[in-house]
Amino acid sequence: MAILKRFQHRDVEGFRVGRFDFGINTSFIIYRFGGTVFDTGSSNQWKYVKPFIEEKPLKQLILTHHHEDHSGNAGHIQRLTGVTPFAPAITTDILKRGFKIPPVQRILWGAASKANAHPLPATMYLDNGEPIEALFAPGHAKDMTCYLLPERGWLLSADLYLANHLKMLRSDEYVPQIIDSTYKILQRDFDTILCPHRGIVEDAKARLTEKYDYLIDLSARAQALQQQGHELEQITQKLLGKDPWMSALNNHNFCRRNLIASCLEVAL
Ligand SMILES: [Zn+2]
């Protein structure tokens, strides 16, 4: 089963691909503005991504971070089109040497691909001359970068937003940094988020502010329980309930306990 859904929102095309339909976290939207494509979808969806990429001459491919759903076809696209992707400097290093992914993510997304990428140039533009501004936003991943289209107030948010009430966290995510990055991005002007999992999010600053407030509040409640002497497992159970079966399957690479453990490190 593959999810294939296309949509158009003004001048941006969205193409959603994914092997499983278990909700927004198991599928991925590639965004295209004319000759500019943001992120690539996962390597196990290449047979669907390839014809999408072939439809229009590709001028530039811009990556947000190295995770396999975002970069998995970077090498394929480069070989197909001759276009070398642009990526944050840390991402270029990771993609050059390759990286390991946990088994469940491998089932979901396929293998990670190695690719050569160029570091982001000082200035970037859409085909119509609109500037694209890179905003480094680590936390979800150490290399994550969002892209702002300041003239229209659109934010390509990578995995900064996802949901306003996160319930689980990857083991390589770090809430204190997610909070700092979210705060930084909230200082900019935008009203629309293009999220590669959730889709087009309107009233975006309010939604992202809700997420920010939620993480601060969750951190405060977790730390209060810790001060009362509760252990991590108990705090997680009290605030978020039991981890679903998927968490044990993936060896707690993605679970509620990770979220609470990281909230306990937030300086409030
Ligand atoms: Zn990611």
Measured in Å, residue 144 CA sits from the centre of ligand 1 at 8
| Residue pLDDT, tens place only, 82-126 | 999 999 999 999 999 998 888 778 878 888 778 999 999 999 999
Measured in Å, residue 150 CA sits from the centre of ligand 1 at 23
Distance CA 43, CA 231 (A): 40
Give pLDDT, residue 4.
83
Lowest mean pLDDT among 34-38, 39-43, 100-104: 100-104
| Residue pLDDT, tens place only, 46-70 | 999 999 999 999 999 999 999 999 9
User: What residues contact 79, with CB distance under 8 A and at least 6 apart?
Assistant: none
| Contact in structure between 229 and 191 (CB atoms under 8 Å) | no
Measured in Å, residue 191 CA sits from the centre of ligand 1 at 22
| Contact in structure between 167 and 240 (CB atoms under 8 Å) | yes
Dihedral angle sign, alpha carbons of residues 200, 51, 75, 43: positive
Measured in Å, residue 40 CA sits from the centre of ligand 1 at 12
Helix (H) or strand (E) holding 71: helix 68-71
| Contact in structure between 81 and 58 (CB atoms under 8 Å) | yes
Distance CA 45, CA 37 (A): 16
User: What residues contact 9, with CB distance under 8 A and at least 6 apart?
Assistant: 200
Measured in Å, residue 8 CA sits from the centre of ligand 1 at 23
Measured in Å, residue 162 CA sits from the centre of ligand 1 at 10
Measured in Å, residue 208 CA sits from the centre of ligand 1 at 17
CA dihedral 93, 97, 102, 105 (to 10 degrees): 70
Residues 218-232 have a mean pLDDT of 98
Residues 152-166 have a mean pLDDT of 95
Measured in Å, residue 258 CA sits from the centre of ligand 1 at 16
63: its two tokens:
């990556």
65: its two tokens:
């971070």
Measured in Å, residue 172 CA sits from the centre of ligand 1 at 10
Measured in Å, residue 141 CA sits from the centre of ligand 1 at 6
| Contact in structure between 265 and 175 (CB atoms under 8 Å) | yes
Average pLDDT, the chain: 94
| Contact in structure between 143 and 90 (CB atoms under 8 Å) | yes
Measured in Å, residue 138 CA sits from the centre of ligand 1 at 10
Give pLDDT, residue 189.
98
Looking at the predicted structure, is the pLDDT value of residue 172 above 70? yes
This prediction has a pTM of: 0.94
Measured in Å, residue 70 CA sits from the centre of ligand 1 at 7
| Contact in structure between 67 and 102 (CB atoms under 8 Å) | no
